[in-house]
């Protein structure tokens, strides 16, 4: 019942992977299974419940009988105790947009495109503007869009259409803007990152533009967020947006500092968020999970599960 309600039940038995037959989001399961299958020869037998929904499942303050360990790609750290794994989007199942109808696509392939794009756009050729394009998955994004209307000299921020769009009211009274590719984001010196329903999938991509990432403060994280440091790899923006204009004016007046932050953020993601490090993280995560959290070792696969190849 736990698997049915809060995640997908997986087993690793005898270096083989098994899963319950139904997966709510098949491409998300595919993205998870890709990495597990690559390292399965190094993993012991174990049972896993992996959440493929956007929202975490284990409340930090629930009673003990509800504290079954569940793996989720993202969580709000003050309220949830899920164990975080690298999101399926590194391989498949990312957000489907009009310019990415099958999802954003594999991380290694997008990395390659963005690395080529940024090499043609040195800091001095980028537009001196803070940029945002995205759908209204959270009203927390509204102040950025409104600032773009009142200060177009500093901010270019507009809402695009998503599946829930019904009228201009869903884009704060304007027609929805066209979706902008990640490569075209690289034309701007400053790029906003704001969480939506959960942690934002765009975050890692923005760094590879070698632009300054303006990260709006949030308690939502993915597995790699804690390694990124404010004013070293990105510039923090107050969650109430009280300091946006001040920060942008400061960065414009201190271009050398801004370019160095952009460079450090770019180099960190380029060097440390690769397909090899993601595989390594998965291996360490599942090894520690089986050694320290779950003592039970299944000896035979559950007959209700199917084998995943």
Three-class SS string for 226-266?
A: HHCCECCCEEEECCCCCCHHHHHHHHHHCHHHHHHHHHHHH
Does 140 share its domain with 71? no
List beta partners, residue 190: 130, 212
Summary count for the chain: helices (H), strands (E): 9, 13
**158 lies in some domain:** yes
Burial class (CB in 10 A: 0-12, 13-18, 19+), 106: middle
**At 6, which helix (H) or strand (E)?**
helix 2-6
In contact, 87 and 31? CB cutoff 8 Å: yes
**pLDDT for the residue numbered 163:** 63
Spatial distance between the Cα atoms of 53 and 48, rounded to a whole number of angstroms:
15
Helices (H), 19-175: 26-39, 107-119, 142-150
- Looking at the structure, tell me whether residues 33 and 66 fall in a common domain: yes
Domain CATH for 179: 3.40.50.2000
Q: What is the pLDDT of residue 167?
A: 72
Residue 97 lies in a domain: no
CA distances from 152 to 207, 232, 277 (A): 23, 27, 40
| Euclidean distance between CA atoms 283 and 276, whole angstroms | 11
The per-residue pLDDT for 1 is 43
Domain check: are 72 and 159 in the same one?
Answer: no
Check whether residue 294 and residue 254 sit in a common domain: no
Whole-angstrom distance, CA of residue 162 vs CA of residue 160: 7
- 249 and 279 housed in the same domain: no
132 and 192 share a domain?
yes
Does 184 lie in the same domain as 38? Answer: no
Determine, yes or no, domain membership for 98.
no
| Residues 256 and 301 grouped into a single domain | no
Q: Are residues 128 and 38 part of one domain? A: no
Provide the domain count of the chain: 2
Is residue 164 within 8 Å of 154, Cβ to Cβ? no
Would you write out the chain's pLDDT as a tens digit for each of its 309 residues?
455 688 999 999 999 999 999 999 999 999 999 999 999 999 999 999 999 999 999 998 865 555 679 999 999 999 999 999 999 999 997 777 778 887 788 999 999 999 999 999 999 999 999 999 988 877 888 999 999 999 999 999 999 887 666 677 777 878 888 999 999 999 999 999 998 878 888 999 999 999 999 999 999 999 999 999 999 999 999 998 999 999 999 999 999 999 999 999 999 999 999 999 999 999 999 999 999 998 889 999 999 999 999
Confidence (pLDDT) at 98: 79
Give domain status of residue 92, yes or no: no
Same domain? For 41 and 128 the reply is no
Residue 182 lies in a domain: yes
**Residue 83 belongs to what domain range?**
2-87+274-308
Any catalytic annotation for residue 65? no
Q: Would residue 93 count as lying in a domain?
A: no
On whether both 118 and 255 belong to a single domain, the answer is yes
The verdict on residue 100 lying in a domain is: no
Q: 31 with 45, same domain?
A: yes
Residue 284 falls inside a structural domain: yes
Q: What is the per-residue pLDDT for 176?
A: 85
Considering the candidates 41, 47, 54, 153, report the single residue annotated as catalytic: 54
């Amino acid at each position: 019942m736990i698997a049915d309600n809060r995640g997908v039940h997986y087993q690793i038995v005898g270096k083989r992977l098994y899963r319950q037959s139904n997966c709510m989001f098949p491409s998300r399961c595919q993205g998870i299974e890709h990495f597990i299958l690559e390292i399965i020869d190094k993993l012991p037998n174990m049972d896993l419940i992996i959440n493929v929904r956007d929202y975490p499942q284990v409340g930090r303050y629930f009673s003990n009988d509800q504290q079954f360990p569940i793996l989720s790609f993202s969580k709000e750290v003050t309220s949830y105790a899920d164990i975080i794994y690298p999101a399926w989007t590194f391989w498949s199942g990312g957000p489907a947009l009009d310019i990415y109808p099958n999802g954003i696509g594999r991380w290694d392939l997008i990395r390659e495109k963005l690395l080529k794009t940024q090499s043609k756009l040195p800091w001095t050729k980028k537009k001196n503007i803070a940029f945002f394009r995205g759908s209204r998955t959270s009203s927390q994004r509204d102040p950025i869009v409104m600032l773009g209307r009142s200060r177009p000299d500093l901010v270019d921020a507009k809402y695009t259409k998503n599946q829930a769009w019904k009228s201009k009211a869903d884009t704060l009274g304007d027609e929805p803007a066209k979706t902008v590719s990640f490569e075209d984001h690289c034309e701007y010196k400053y790029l906003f990152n704001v969480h939506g329903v959960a942690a934002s999938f765009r975050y890692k991509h923005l760094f590879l533009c070698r632009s300054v990432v303006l990260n709006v403060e949030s308690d939502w994280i993915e597995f790699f967020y804690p390694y990124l440091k404010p004013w070293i790899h990105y510039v923090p923006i107050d969650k109430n947006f009280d300091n946006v204009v001040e920060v942008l004016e400061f960065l414009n007046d201190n271009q050398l500092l801004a370019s160095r932050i952009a460079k450090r953020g770019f180099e960190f993601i380029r060097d440390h968020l690769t397909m090899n490090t993601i595989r390594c993280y998965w291996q360490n995560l599942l090894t520690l999970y089986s050694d320290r959290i779950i003592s039970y070792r299944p000896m035979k696969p559950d007959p209700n599960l199917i084998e995943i190849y």
